[in-house]
Amino acid sequence: MDKKNKVPNFSAMAKDLTANAERYAASESVKFFKESFVKGGFTDTSFVSWPKTSNPMAGKRTMYNRGVLMQSIRKAEQSKRRIVIESDTEYSDIQNNGGTITVTRQMKRFFWAKFYEFSGKTKQTSSGKTSRSKSNVKTNAKAEFFKRLALMPVGKKIKIPKRQYMGESKTMMSGFDRWFLGQVEIQFRESVEHPHSNNFK
């Protein structure tokens, strides 16, 4: 067989690899960042767990209540030049990077409203005493949490600890590199075995 037929179609390989790399990097980045919520921390060169929270509104897992923050992570831009992943909730940035928030009158009104809301949900026993059921204990904890916040003076700074879930990650990029090199090897081997085929994976 003519050896010329064995020359891989490098142009087609490069085009296919680029397209696949864009799709892979975008989808895997979103997946990698969402996994931070499952693991309870972020991995750059190594895994760093999040500070624990005593907030009774936090749910069973830190930073995960209804999953709004995790589900907000999505691809914003995909091109040959760059991949942009974003999270656009109003508290995305301060949770990811940490910081402080300042107590305002509007916030205090909200805190008091939540306190009264949860206070009104406590159940009484037949004798008129507050029940010590698990649901009551949880409800009381939430009411007391908002009461403490409501009693803070206007202008008080509340520190929000850093709980990073997305950003630069050497671990993630190393995974991309391994995937890409693997794809180059696979496509080169297929192009040699099937020189007239452009059906790269």
Tens digits of residue pLDDT in 18-48: 888 889 999 999 999 999 999 999 999 999 9
| Residue 162 near residue 97 (C-beta atoms within 8 A) | yes
Q: Is the pLDDT of residue 9 over 90?
A: no
Q: Is the pLDDT of residue 187 over 70?
A: yes
Smallest Cα–Cα separation from 147: which of 101, 120, 121, 108?
108
Q: Which helix (H) or strand (E) holds 43?
A: strand 41-43
Provide CB contacts within 8 A for 71, sequence distance 6+.
none
Tens digit of each residue's pLDDT (9 = 90 or more) over 78-116: 988 889 999 999 999 999 999 999 999 999 999 999 999
Sequence ranges of the domains in the chain: 1-91+169-201, 99-160
| Residue 3 near residue 193 (C-beta atoms within 8 A) | no
In angstroms, the Cα distances linking 15 to 11, 21, 24, 84, 190 are: 6, 10, 14, 21, 15
Q: Is the pLDDT of residue 200 over 50?
A: no
pLDDT computed for residue 10 by the predictor: 63
- What's the rounded Cα separation, in Å, for the pair 36 and 59? 16
Tens digit of each residue's pLDDT (9 = 90 or more) over 136-182: 888 888 999 999 999 999 999 999 999 999 999 999 999 999 998 88
Q: Is the pLDDT of residue 5 over 60?
A: no
In angstroms, the Cα distances linking 85 to 25, 88, 170 are: 10, 10, 16
- What's the rounded Cα separation, in Å, for the pair 77 and 11? 25
Q: For the beta carbon of residue 70, count every other beta carbon within 10 angstroms.
A: 19
